[in-house]
Structure 1
Amino acid sequence: MPDAIRTARPEDEEALRRLDRATWSPLHAVTPPPAPDAPFFREHAGPADHLVAELDGRVVGYVRLGFPTSLASNAHVRQIHGLAVAGEARGRGVGRALVRAAVDRARAQGFRRITLRVLGHNAPARRLYESEGFVVEGVQPEEFCLDGTYVDDVLMGRSLLQRL
């Protein structure tokens, strides 16, 4: 388990950039690898939209929260836009703690649902999300072509109105 889960701070930028580059993989990313000088925080994904996990005083993971669309009609839904855990911290409950913290934060902020998208071939992530109450709500077959392989986009979600 991580020592702490907290809201990201502007000074976490460099640690999060390094983590993002180190954990990039076609197993979970549909975009190209981040450039070494690419900013981690963006206009619509600033420090307040990220929860970070610390272990032994170091940032070892993050979850990025956003919205599925900019439409007012689904502003009651929060969406996980990214989850990363440093290789040396895997298997220590960091990913699970980040997912739970994201769910708890969205619930505390009054959201009714939380959703995410995960690639069909990312079995470890799918198992984690399912164990935390997310269910498959749709599949877009062969939505992405990654390294010459067509991969499904799996839509998952859960209600925030009841606890597991």
Structure 2
Amino acid sequence: MAAMNGELRIRTARPEDEPELARLDHVSWSWLSDVVPQPAPDAQLFDERRPPVNFLVAESEGRILGYIQQGSPTPLPSNRHIRQIQGFVVDPAARGRGIGRALVEAACALARADGVHRMTLRVLAHNAQARRLYERCGFQVDGVLPEEFWLDGVYVDDVWMGRKL
């Protein structure tokens, strides 16, 4: 899948993108958005559960600016109508340019084209910027798991959001 938004191109990830995507994971890491310790700059990103085809990358002038990962929330056949955003990063130096919204909308469009009925995601309650982005993209809060995580010395709620496609 490729979509154009001015100079921004969104495409499916390729195996050779892994080092740059891992680097972006490393430089974008924050307790504001992550529930695991900071990954190494060369951490493996792709594996059997997370193949490159599950990732869309945003690039401009040959430079990867971000990615969004989506997949099935469970392996159950009765749950195949749902797709979940399971990873999402925009290069800190490229934020504020609409790249995040373009990635979310591209992921939803791809899921819709695949016959998926609903897109879901989880976001930390204190990540107000991400929550606003998801709301602008049509996601609504489906539920909250209070104090689900202990991060950087505070309890943080886990917010479940969803959008019908």
TM-score norm. by structure 2 comes to 0.94
The residue that corresponds to 1:40 in the other structure is 45
Q: Which residue of 2 aligns with 1:145?
A: 150
The equivalent residue for 1:102 is 107
Unaligned runs of 5+ in 1: none
Letter in 1 for 2:139: F
Q: Offset of 1:51 from its aligned partner?
A: 0.1
1:37 Cα deviation (Å)? 3.6
The separation in 2 between residues aligned to 1:56 and 1:150, in whole angstroms, is 41
Contact persistence 2:55–2:69 (CA under 8 A): yes
Aligned counterpart, 2:86: 81
2:163 corresponding residue in structure 1: 158
Q: What residue in structure 1 maps to residue 11 of structure 2?
A: 6
Query: In structure 1, the residue corresponding to 2:163 is in which secondary structure?
Result: strand
Instruction: List 4+ stretches of structure 1 deviating above 3 A.
Output: none
Distance 1:55 1:106, change over 3 A: same
Match of 1:55 among 56, 60, 67: 60
| CA distance in structure 2 between the partners assigned to 1:35 and 1:3 by the alignment | 27
Q: Equivalent residue of 1:20, what SS?
A: helix
* Offset of residue 87 of structure 1: 1.1
Alignment partner of 1:70 is 2:71: no
Q: Deviations over 1:16-49 (max 9, x none)?
A: 1111101011101011111234211121111100
Matched, 1:28 2:68: no
Q: How many residues of Structure 1 are paired with residues of Structure 2 in the alignment?
A: 160
Deviations, residues 100-125 of structure 1 (Å, cap 9, x unaligned): 00000000000000000000000000
1:18/1:36 CA distance change after superposition, 3 Å: closer
Unaligned stretches of 5+ residues in structure 2? none
Q: 1:72 and 1:20 mapped to 2: Cα distance?
A: 31
Cα RMSD after superposing both structures: 1.0
Whole-Å Cα distance in 1 between the matches of residues 39 and 125 of structure 2?
A: 22
Structure 2 counterpart of 1:59, one-letter code: I
The alignment's TM-score, normalised by the length of structure 1, stands at 0.94
Identity of aligned residues (%): 61
